Structure 1
Amino acid sequence: MPLYMDCHDTPGIKIEEAEKAHLKDLAVQEKFHVKYLAYWVNEDSGKVFCLMKAPNKEAIHKTHLLANGIKTCNIVEVEGGLYSAFMGKDLRNREDLVVDENGTPDGGYRFILNLDIIAVTRLSDFIDFDELKLPRKPREAAERFILKNNGNVVNQLSYDRVIAVFKTPESCLLCAKEIQEEFLSHKVEYTSNEWNFRFTMGLCIGEPVTTTDDRIFQQALNQSMWYCKIAENGKIALPIEFQEISVLCRTEMDMPDITVIDKSDQDFIRQLFDHINVNISKDNFTIAKLSREMGLSRAQLYRKLNSMSNSSPVQFVRDLRLKYALNLIKEKKLTISEIAYELGFSNPSYFAKCFKKKYGISPSKIKVEV
């Protein structure tokens, strides 16, 4: 049977109450052919997450409704390998509550590190796509630091970036800082006469399932990617919540090479990417239109975005289009000209010029293995 996770928004919930509710679920699960496996309780946020096998989502709804008279906020189907990558090997007490090695309840939240490494080549001949998008040497170094800090690399999710998951905010942030220091202080070891590279990191706190997710940790993955794109070259961007939950993080985050995103800026970033993603393929999508849709003047949009990313709105949107272009090149479904038009460039020659300026090579010179 398929594997599912769900979430319940229950402000003020206590572990003892969740244990009783779980026992009631177990008492009726066979009626709907559901098997409850584990659950997580986060008393601070009032969230409860359940893991179960079931024939479908409707069966899960029915068990919760019959057992406890409650509805789930959302249910997502989970691929087993992806579940293990995010949640790790869960230890459960006799009531199926997930706990850590010390027996302390696991609240279910995880800390996501999103690392974007983009090579810039000085070669003029054909080059391999994979080496351009995710250079081998810096990627392998980053993965070593992730393992050192008890993180887990989620290889299933992306071929064009490194995504890692941690159980504590401290291990996530310390890992990011170690990667940053390694890349900045030993950059010559990862480059050559033919190659250079840029990198950014976005960190995020995530819950397994939210009310809008279609897959596990979807919202957190989106946010970490947004922060990765907001960050300046060589910097780490992360939400202020890291400071609020960890004294160590509060100290480590007070550094010039870290961008701390407060709650109002988090809303701004979400709206920014929502509007850009809807309009990015339109050649008539202008900064004036983006400003209007966000309810800001062009000057306000410029100041807000520049303060976080040191980039103008025009540069920012163009860079996003060029990053998306790499993914379309990888898919090999469109010609270079078609990719240019698909991403809102009115002129393929201008697209090729911008691409070469960013990556050091013409898009037509990239080799992609079938």
Structure 2
Amino acid sequence: MPIYMDFHKIANVTIDDVKKAHMADEAIQDKYGVKYHQFWVNQENGSVFCLVEGPDKETCERVHQMAHGNLACALTEVEIGFYEKLMGKEHTVDNGHVKNNDGSEDLGYRNILIASVYGKTRAYGLTDLSQLQRPDWARKIIMQNIPAFNGRELGWEKDDSLIGVFHNATHAIQCALQIQQELIHFEQKQPEIIFKIGISASQPVTQNGDFFKEAIKLAHRLSVTVQDNQILISSLVKKLCRNEELLTKKSSLKFLNEKEEEFVSTLISIAEAKLADQQFDLNRLSNEVCVSRPQLYRKVMSLTGRSPIDFIRDLRMDKALTLLKQKRSNIAEIAYESGFNSSSYFTKCFAEKFGCTPSLFIKTDIA
């Protein structure tokens, strides 16, 4: 049967309250072919999340309604593999209440770390290009550190980014710092790379029924926004981090506030939707994000360390790199899809950023 998670907002909720409601669910659930497995409680903000198995949403909701009347604000179906990667399987359950193995309460928060890495080269032969397409030594460092800090790797189909999921915000930040330190150290002995790390956080289900997808999207946007070889962290991750010493590492970390996150999300959402439009310029961008051009320049420079023009060009380069790796189009088509109206200008920009021409890059057999 399908698996669902729901979200309740209950003022002054207590764990005992939810345990009683869970027992009421269990008392009648067999009659409806439903099984309420477990729940998470965040007493501080009045959030409750339930994991339930049933034939459909309506039947699951009916059990809640008949048992105690606490209807969910949102209920969404989840794919079991995706659920297990995000929520994990290593926990204890006390009368339905999910706890961490150390006995502490699992509030449901999960921290999402996304790391992107690509190589730079002055390639004159196809062998050199293997480091540009997939710097495996760097990816290995990232993948080794995720479980070392109690994280789980999550698959990602959009691009070559690597994702780690962490119960603990402190562990996520420590993992990012360790990755940063090792990549910078080992780069002295390896071909040059550029890496970017973004970290976001969320509870399992949002008011609109989203199950972590918005948190993953935000972490990806942070990894796109951050300056080369740096770490960008959302406001919620900062709030969840209990290690004050980590929060003072301003030379290695940058934290966003909620307004900055909103601006970044709006900026990238608009830019990504318009990347293929060669007529899309800063005037149109500033109009769509509702700021003046001087404000746009100040905000983008402050957040990304790049001018808006350079930032948009980098987004187009990242898209072009992904398209080149897919090898589904020729260079002229990729240039057009990435927002360049000239193949020669696209080639110039690509060579400046990655150190080789698109034509040489596309000749390799490395996916």
Q: TM-score, normalised by structure 2?
A: 0.90
> Residue 10 and residue 134 in structure 1: after superposition, are their counterparts in 2 closer, same or farther (change >3 A)?
farther
Q: Offset at 1:127?
A: 6.3
Report the equivalent of 1:86.
86
Residue type of the partner of 1:206?
S
Contact 2:90 2:101 in 1 (8 A): no
Matched, 1:109 2:109: yes
Report if aligned partners of 1:243, 1:250 keep a CA contact under 8 Å in 2: no
Kindly indicate whether the alpha-carbon contact (under 8 Å) linking 1:200 and 1:233 is maintained by their aligned counterparts in 2. Answer: yes
Matched, 1:309 2:311: no
- Aligned partner of 2:68 in structure 1 is 68
Question: In structure 2, what residue type is equivalent to 1:171?
Answer: H
Report what 2:19 is aligned to. 19
Aligned counterpart for 2:225 among listed residues 230, 238, 243: 230
Residues 108 and 207 in structure 1, CA contact (< 8 A), matched pair in contact too: yes
Report SS of the residue matched to 1:307. Answer: helix
CA distance in 1 between partners of 2:295 and 2:156 (Å): 39
Inter-CA distance 134–48: structure 2 relative to 1 (3 Å threshold):
farther
In the other structure, the counterpart of 1:56 is 56
How far apart are the structure 1 equivalents of 2:147 and 2:112? 14
Is 1:285 matched with 2:285? no
Change (3 A) 1:42 1:125: same
CA contact (8 A) 2:238 2:255 kept: no
Match of residue 209 from structure 1: 205
Counterpart CA distance in 1 for 2:127 and 2:271 is: 30
The equivalent residue for 2:344 is 349
Quote the offset at 1:221 in angstroms: 0.7
The residue identity in structure 1 corresponding to 2:344 is S
Match of 1:41 in 2: 41
Q: Distance in 2 between matches of 1:131 and 1:61?
A: 52
What is the rounded CA distance, in whole Å, between the counterparts of 2:112 and 2:51 in structure 1? Answer: 20
CA drift at 1:368 = 5.4
For 2:330 and 2:70, how far apart are their aligned partners in 1?
A: 52
SS at match of 1:291: helix
Q: Secondary structure at the match of 2:38?
A: strand
Structure 1 unaligned spans of 5+: none
Helix, strand or coil at the partner of 1:254:
coil
Indicate if the aligned counterparts of 1:90 and 1:98 stay in contact, CA closer than 8 A: no
Aligned residues: 365
Decide whether the 8 Å contact of 1:155 with 1:162 is kept in 2: yes
Give the whole-Å Cα distance in 2 for the aligned partners of 1:330 and 1:77: 33
Q: CA deviation at 1:332?
A: 3.7
Letter of the 1:244 counterpart:
K
Alignment of 1:1-370 (within 5 A): 1-126=1-126, 132-155=132-155, 160-189=160-189, 191=190, 195-212=191-208, 214=210, 216-249=211-244, 251-364=246-359, 365-366=361-362, 367=364
- The normalised TM-score by structure 1 is 0.90
Whether the 8 Å CA contact 2:92–2:101 is kept in 1: the answer is no
Paired letter, 1:220: A
Q: Distance in 1 between matches of 2:156 and 2:287?
A: 38
- The alpha-carbon deviation at position 34 of structure 1 amounts to 2.2
SS state of the match for residue 304, structure 1?
helix
Q: CA 1:276/1:72 → structure 2, altered by over 3 Å: closer, same or farther? A: farther
Look up the SS of the partner of 2:243 in the other structure: helix
Q: What letter corresponds to residue 182 of structure 2 in structure 1?
A: E
Deviation at 1:212, TM superposition (A): 3.6
Kindly tell me: are residues 83 and 295 of structure 1, through their superposed partners in 2, closer, same or farther at Cα, counting changes over 3 Å? same
The 3 A distance-change label for structure 1 pair 242 and 94 is: closer
1:118–1:134 Cα contact (<8 Å) kept: yes
The 3 A distance-change label for structure 1 pair 251 and 148 is closer
The SS at the match of 1:44 is coil
Offset, 1:198: 0.5
Identity of aligned residues (%): 33
In structure 1, C-alpha distance between the alignment counterparts of 2:336 and 2:251, rounded to whole Å: 39
Task: Give the distance between the partners of 1:129 and 1:73, measured in 2 at CA.
Answer: 51
